[in-house]
A and B are shown apart, each in its own frame.
Chain A
Amino acid sequence: MAAKSIISRPVYGTLSPQPGKHHLFIADAEGALAIAEMAGRAPPRFFDDAEVVFIPGPDGKHTVALEALKPAQFHQAPSFASLLPRLRQTLANAHMGLRLYLSGTEGLIGQAMQVALEAGIDHTSIQTEHRGSLARRMQCVHCKGITENVTTQPATCAHCGLLLLVRDHYSRRIAAFQGVCINAEDRSEIPPMEEIFR
């Protein structure tokens, strides 16, 4: 559970079966466990109208558990980037009654929600459950570059190299936390880098 934070920081819940005609699940790594646990609370044949899209973690686990749910469609993708064209088409062709469920890392939930927002889906209608790493997706406010999987505070921008304070301020549109130069006023001040988003 994330510590108490500011209002723009996303709050995640627990996946629960929603009334709807079609159900699209997007998960990465341990997010698969959230789907499997929700399946235990779902009505019979719930996954007959479901599509499950899964990006396995480095350990490659959980694929079998998801396949066992027998969703109407199951797709495994090697990365979020590789999933994007398919996801965009699915959402563009979606009809009223599609329900979206996102589970796994914050980066996955954020990026999938970003695509859903672009397709006109209201963020409050999306089910989310955070599982696994607390690593953050960060946008450098100075050069606008995104750095993935930030685990330290402060963190170095992968694009411009500035040392950034990783704020809790979060943009759904950008799907990232804001990074702001931590030693802008005196570049000789180098605060220690601690690993806090694990």
Chain B
Amino acid sequence: MGITFRKETFRDDFTFKNSPEHIRRFPFPFHEDAYMYAVNIEPHVVGPRGSVLENLIDVDEHYVAEMQDRALVLAEDPLRCQSLPHMTLAGWDLLELLMEQQALGYPEHFTLTRDGDRWRWINRPLGIDDTFTFGDTSTLPYGPMEYITRQSQGDFCILDQRDGNLWMDAGMVTTQADWSLDFDIGMNFFEWHAPVPLAHEKGIFVRALKFLTNIQQGKPARRLNWTMTINPRLDTSPENYHKWGPDRATVTPENVGDKVHLRVELQSFWRLPRSNGIVFPIRCYLIKMDELVTQPKWARRLHRVIRDLPDELANYKGLTRYRPALVEWLSKLDDGSATSSGFGPD
């Protein structure tokens, strides 16, 4: 028995929603009633059955619709997928990783068979059955990174490691929280994080870089990050900010539950075997407030987090315009009782 893939959209009529099982497995990012930056990195190991960590590369009911949305973004703007010339080998590393992980976790949907360099990849949800020569780009319809990331949920950044730093030298970025691969490609770890407020002063990036440059093969790590998005829109790129920005002015006390979405990124970090690069998948999960507050603990906690968020962070995350309406709406679901520790629902 496999996943039933939803037919849904992330634009125009916005028919995206989560099934009850997917609401329960949502990676709620707050383990306490407040939020501040931390180097919240932990080993990326398999978690409980039925959670988003059941497999290290998660495929869920939104897979097919997300891949269709990605194809639409790329047709409009091919610059969302770029790879500097020295990154092709890392692209093959990534192709191997994603094919192996998806076939391992979801054998009913994906099959990888290898005969030396001759590989056959079957992707049943997308109707793909390709045979190619590993390492020979001419045997695939796209470069290796683009080929496999058109078939994998989440954004992917491939970081080259040199001079004690990590360099954003390749990526497939179509579901991003307002940052531009086209602008940031070629930057080092500190440069592409430059616009993030407060965290530099706290030494977050120095410690994070030290951790990431020491990641070993076979020992991936992960962290959660979050923001909020109006409407279930995957493509909240700066490129299209003038198109989706007006959504933020459409939030009213009546439509908060339907329009405002918590957007959580499950970021993981993997050492790549041939290139010695790091791949950094940024997997985006969306949940509308109406769905989230079906879990009373999450409703109470999110109210307290958003209410008490420092203005600088709220501004950086783009919440300023609708925060009062959101806090007011959430406050009605917060009776002031204690919340249990940890991320999960009660």
Which A positions have Cβ atoms within 8 angstroms of B? 6-9, 139, 141-142, 144, 162, 167-169, 171-174, 178, 180-181, 184-187
Query: Is A172 within 8 A of B186, CB to CB?
Result: yes
The closest CB in chain A to the CB of B237 belongs to A141
Residues in B with CB closer than 8 Å to A187 are 246
Residue in contact with B180 in the complex, picked from A6, A9, A141, A185, CB distance below 8 Å: A141
A180-B241, A184-B245 given; 13 more Cβ-contact pairs under 8 Å: A6-B195, A7-B193, A7-B194, A141-B183, A141-B239, A144-B79, A169-B195, A171-B184, A171-B187, A173-B186, A181-B241, A185-B321, A186-B249
A7/B190 in contact, CB under 8 A: yes
A126 to B279, CA, bound (A): 30
Contacting residues, chain B, for A162 (C-beta < 8 A) = 242
3 tightest Cβ-Cβ pairs between the two chains A and B: A184-B245, A8-B194, A6-B194
Residues on A with beta carbons closer than 8 Å to the beta carbon of B242: 142, 162, 181, 184
Say yes or no: A8-B239 contact (C-beta < 8 A), given A171-B184, A178-B183, A185-B245. Answer: no
Cα-based distance from A9 to B245 in the complex (angstroms): 26
The 19 listed contacts between A and B (C-beta, < 8 Å) are A6-B194, A6-B195, A7-B191, A7-B200, A8-B191, A8-B192, A141-B238, A141-B239, A141-B241, A144-B182, A169-B183, A171-B187, A173-B185, A174-B183, A178-B180, A178-B183, A180-B238, A181-B245, A187-B246
Please tell me if the beta carbons of B183 and A9 are within 8 angstroms of each other in the complex. Answer: no
Asked if B79 contacts A9 (CB within 8 A), the reply is no
Interface members, chain B 179-227 (any A CB < 8 Å): 180, 182-187, 190-195, 200
- CB of B248 within 8 Å of the partner chain: yes
Q: How many B residues have CB within 8 A of the partner chain?
A: 25
Are B200 and A184 neighbours in the complex by a CB distance under 8 Å?
Answer: no
B residues sitting closer than 8 Å to A (CB atoms) are 79, 180, 182-187, 190-195, 200, 238-242, 245-246, 248-249, 321
Q: Identify which of B79, B183, B192, B239 gathers the most chain A CB atoms within 10 Å of its CB.
A: B183
The smallest beta-carbon distance between B288 and chain A, in angstroms, is 20
Please, how many angstroms separate the alpha-carbon atoms of A141 and B243 in the complex? 13
Interchain CA distance A99-B326 in the complex, whole Å:
57
Q: Could you say which of B185, B190, B193, B239 has the most chain A C-beta atoms within 10 Å of its C-beta? A: B239
Q: Which of chain B's residues have a CB closer than 8 A to the CB of A144?
A: 79, 182
Cβ contacts under 8 Å, A6 to chain B: 194-195
* Residues in chain B near residue A184, CB distance under 8 A: 241-242, 245-246
A185 touches B186 (CB 8 A): no
For B245, list chain A residues within 8 Å (CB): 181, 184-185
Residue numbers in A under 8 Å from B190 (CB-CB): 7-8
Chain A residues near B182 (CB, 8 Å)?
Answer: 144
Per the bound structure, the CA–CA distance linking A162 and B186 in Å amounts to 26
Whose C-beta in chain A lies nearest to the C-beta of B250?
A185
Decide: A186 and B186 in contact? CB cutoff 8 A: no
Contact A185 B183 (CB under 8 A): no
Contacting pair A9 B194 (CB below 8 A):
yes
For residue A143, which residue of chain B has the nearest CB?
B239
CA A80 – CA B243 in complex, angstroms?
A: 35
Q: Are B246 and A185 in contact (CB under 8 A)?
A: yes
Docked CA distance A188–B164 (Å): 47
Q: Which residues of A contact B321 (CB under 8 A)?
A: 185
Q: How far is the CA of A173 from the CA of B169 in the complex (A)?
A: 11
Give the shortest distance, in Å, between B11 (CB) and chain A (any CB): 17
B184: min CB distance to chain A, Å: 7
Closest to A117 in B: B186
Contact B194 A169 (CB under 8 A): yes
Q: Residues of B contacting A173 with CB < 8 Å?
A: 185-187
